Amino acid sequence: MSRGEKRAEGMSNHPPSVQHVLSKQSLRPIIMLLSGVVILAFTLLVSLTQGRADVSVYDVIGALLNRQDLAEHHLIWANRFPRAVMGIVSGCALAVAGALMQTVTRNPLASETTLGVNAGAYLAVVAGMIFFPALQTQYAFPVAVAGGAGAAVAVFSLAGGRRSTPIRVALSGMIVTLVLSSVTSALIMLNQQTVQGVFLWGSGSLIQNNWSGVSFSWPWVAGGIFIVCLLARQLDVLTLNEETSKSLGQRVKQTRIVAMAIAVVIACVSVSIVGPIGFIGLVAPHLVRMMGVRQHIWLLPISAIWGSTILLAADTIARSFIDSYGELPAGAITAAIGAPWLIWLALRMSKHVKGGAGFQSNLSMSVGGSRRIGSFSLWATVFTILMLAVWTLSLTSGSLYIPLPDVWAALIGQGQAIHEKILYDFRLPRLLIAGISGMAIAVSGSLIQNTIRNPLGDPQVIGITSGAGVGALLIMVVFPQLSGFWLPAGAVLGGMGAAAIVYGISWRRGLDPMILTLVGIAVAAAGAAFINILIVYAKVSVAPALTWMAGSAYGRGWSELYLLLPSVGILILLAWWQGRKVDLLSFNEESSTGLGMKVRQTRLTVAVIAVLLASVAAANVGAVGFIGLLAPHAARMLVGPHHQKAMILSALLGGLLLAAADWIGVVLLAPKELPAGVVTAIIGAPYLLYLMYRSARPRLLKAR
């Protein structure tokens, strides 16, 4: 063979290899599509066999292919098949909504859950059931859309709009979700008869007794997906930077508005029928993108198929335990699946975030300055007087009003016997537990914010409160015969367990603040899901469970106080002793290390103190939020970043806020009682949201 022939042969051999690579890449979407359809069909078949009544695979196939007048066939077509199809429709809606939100916001953590759409729609539906029942019956869907859209706009705006970062969106979404969830819990507790049975639906349940839900939802979902598939090329362009997109002649703003509107609408369709089901919109699109599918003409339908598969599989898993544990919500199972996925995403993102600059750009959530306003001694005196005044006034309120002079007389042993009994047996221990727990939560929040270098750090944000709730409920459900002493022990163990997971996963990344926060959010979601499962399994009365989850000192006595007081006192002293090291944590890691501090060990030590404080408080007053956010922030605004001074003011503010919230909850809607945690959310949320908006506003103005 001549040299020219060999060269020609060598050249002819190269193009097929390129074609092989191209053909392999072009086959990926088809493989993902077909495999998704096959797995979905198998999952559907298995799903139809699950339930209280025994139905075999042969019964299912017979009912689908040759329906007859048999009890099994009627059961399948009237109950199980509508439920399965509703799962498919909802899975499609949530997955496509998540994919669209991630594209529009250019944020890998965007989904109907992280943008608060689920929480907003849920609140709107519950409020409609209570205040406008006739309107809710006829227009449940528009009400849900209004709530979901409002929440999404709030989260996106607070996160900084198009200049937002993934971590900022996740934190803003969690804060807004906490606010909306607190209001929803309050409405449910105050209107139990009106919203009876809403708890299971509110946890995400596919239960269907007929085809009405499917008949209503599928045209909206199918129509929305069809429209965005027509916009696939424009959506592909959105993945480029904005200048490039505009240079290609695309109407970027209009495409974003249409895509986001459709995402919110189809997500709210799902919420209005099956309740808020989280993480489908986060997991399914990422799963498809991991397989190399990027073009939206493939990404959207394949995400829909895999979203349906995941949701239907979650519901199948939930129903497989129906004989042992009862009807479990599918939303709890998806949260248990999605939480590890969020952790994996956090670890994956951390590979692209190195050093101090990395987390500063990704984690920045400044919510105000830390300049000094007045002297420390002045503010310490003011807050001490205010705290003691509120504590004294709160002793006058309850089912029986006791005038202030009679309170003083009873406290010094010169009052009426009935007044002394009420004060010493009920009101005084409850007041002291609320005040001391508020101090513990505030100091815990201060330590956490310094550890993760984020002013929005909080025991709830990094999962401690959810873990404590799981531990306490496990004691109540699994070991009901144990004495009340073990409830705080269970809460402490649960909080420590959650913190161990968060810090254990983050340890290999040097306890990076971004990783800590995202892993904490995931653990908090998993903990909330497990709490829902425990409540449904144990058939715990929803009102007491929601009261504890919302945060309340109701029913607490001297025995709990005798354990709480020394524990919190010792831990606060340890936190104060760590003040110098905590101050150094405010610098970036290189500077702190250069000053001779072992950053990782210091963070771990401070974190252990914070976890113990939060867990002990949660064991006594439940899941109280916002105090751990607001008190440390207000203290830093007043006296600057000096930890020891700020910590003392935080403790005084925490004791003032929680005692005041408990008092307001008692008198506001008497004789009904509002949990203190709901009051703190209602009081603190507007201020916090304003601060977040103010911090985002300069970025938006600069971007213009």
Q: Report pLDDT digits (tens) over 24-74.
A: 557 888 888 999 999 999 999 999 888 777 788 888 888 888 888 888 888
Kindly state whether residues 389 and 302 are assigned to the same domain.
no
Q: Please give the average per-residue pLDDT across 372-397, as a whole number.
A: 86
Q: Please give the average per-residue pLDDT across 405-420, as a whole number.
A: 84
User: Is residue 23 included in any domain, yes or no?
Assistant: no
Kindly state whether residues 302 and 427 are assigned to the same domain.
no
On the question of pLDDT at 384 being above 90, the answer is yes
Is there a contact between 602 and 581 (Cβ–Cβ < 8 Å)? yes
| Four-residue CA torsion sign, 500, 505, 511, 513 | negative
Residue 438 confidence class, pLDDT cut points 50, 70, 90: very high
Kindly state whether residues 387 and 245 are assigned to the same domain.
no
Most confident of 291-295, 363-367, 522-526, 573-577: 573-577
On the question of pLDDT at 495 being above 90, the answer is no
Kindly state whether residues 201 and 256 are assigned to the same domain.
yes
Name the residue among 432, 461, 443 with its Cα closest to residue 522. Answer: 461
Kindly state whether residues 388 and 343 are assigned to the same domain.
no
Residue 285 confidence class, pLDDT cut points 50, 70, 90: very high
- How does the average pLDDT of the chain come out, rounded? 80
Instruction: Give the CA angle between residues 513, 515, 521 to the nearest 5°.
Output: 105
User: Is residue 314 included in any domain, yes or no?
Assistant: yes
Q: Please give the average per-residue pLDDT across 587-596, as a whole number.
A: 63
Amino acid found at 536: V
Percent share of the chain, pLDDT over 90: 18
Q: Which of 289, 317, 352 delimits the end of a domain?
A: 352
Secondary structure letter of residue 596 according to DSSP: T
Given this model, what pLDDT does residue 14 score?
Answer: 46
CATH, residue 302: 1.10.3470.10
Kindly state whether residues 333 and 391 are assigned to the same domain.
no
Kindly state whether residues 395 and 289 are assigned to the same domain.
no
Residue 416 confidence class, pLDDT cut points 50, 70, 90: confident
User: Is residue 390 included in any domain, yes or no?
Assistant: yes
User: Is residue 511 included in any domain, yes or no?
Assistant: yes
SS3 label, residue 194: coil
Q: What is the DSSP string of 487-507?
A: HHHHHHHHHHHHHHHHHHHHH
Rounded CA-CA distance 171/353 in Å is 18
Q: Please give the average per-residue pLDDT across 84-113, as a whole number.
A: 89
Kindly state whether residues 473 and 408 are assigned to the same domain.
yes
Residue 180: how many CB atoms within 10 A of its CB?
Answer: 24
Q: The tokens of 524 are what?
A: 């908090």
User: Is residue 367 included in any domain, yes or no?
Assistant: no
Is there a contact between 647 and 609 (Cβ–Cβ < 8 Å)? no
Backbone angles phi, psi at 507, to 5 degrees: -60, -40
Q: Please give the average per-residue pLDDT across 683-702, as a whole number.
A: 62
Secondary structure letter of residue 326 according to DSSP: -
User: Is residue 364 included in any domain, yes or no?
Assistant: no
Model confidence pLDDT, tens digit, residues 267-284:
999 988 888 888 899 899
Kindly state whether residues 60 and 94 are assigned to the same domain.
yes
Rounded CA-CA distance 605/447 in Å is 10
Is there a contact between 631 and 445 (Cβ–Cβ < 8 Å)? yes
Residue 449 confidence class, pLDDT cut points 50, 70, 90: confident
User: Is residue 19 included in any domain, yes or no?
Assistant: no
User: Is residue 431 included in any domain, yes or no?
Assistant: yes
Instruction: Give the CA angle between residues 623, 624, 626 to the nearest 5°.
Output: 130
Given this model, what pLDDT does residue 629 score?
Answer: 83
Kindly state whether residues 339 and 409 are assigned to the same domain.
no
Instruction: Find the range with the poorest average confidence among 92-96, 201-205, 421-425.
Output: 201-205
Model confidence pLDDT, tens digit, residues 117-164:
888 988 888 888 888 877 777 777 888 888 988 888 888 787 776 666
Q: What is the DSSP string of 609-644?
A: HHHHHHHHHHHHH-S--SHHHHHHHHHHHHH-S-HH
Kindly state whether residues 110 and 224 are assigned to the same domain.
yes
Residue 180 confidence class, pLDDT cut points 50, 70, 90: confident
**Is the whole model's pTM more than 0.85, yes or no?**
no
The total number of structural domains that make up the chain:
2
CA 667 to chain centre: 30
586, with CB counted inside 10 A (0-12, 13-18, 19+), is middle
SS3 label, residue 209: coil
Kindly state whether residues 313 and 410 are assigned to the same domain.
no
Is there a contact between 641 and 647 (Cβ–Cβ < 8 Å)? no
The residue segments making up the domain with residue 83 are: 28-352
On the question of pLDDT at 694 being above 70, the answer is no
Rounded CA-CA distance 29/88 in Å is 20
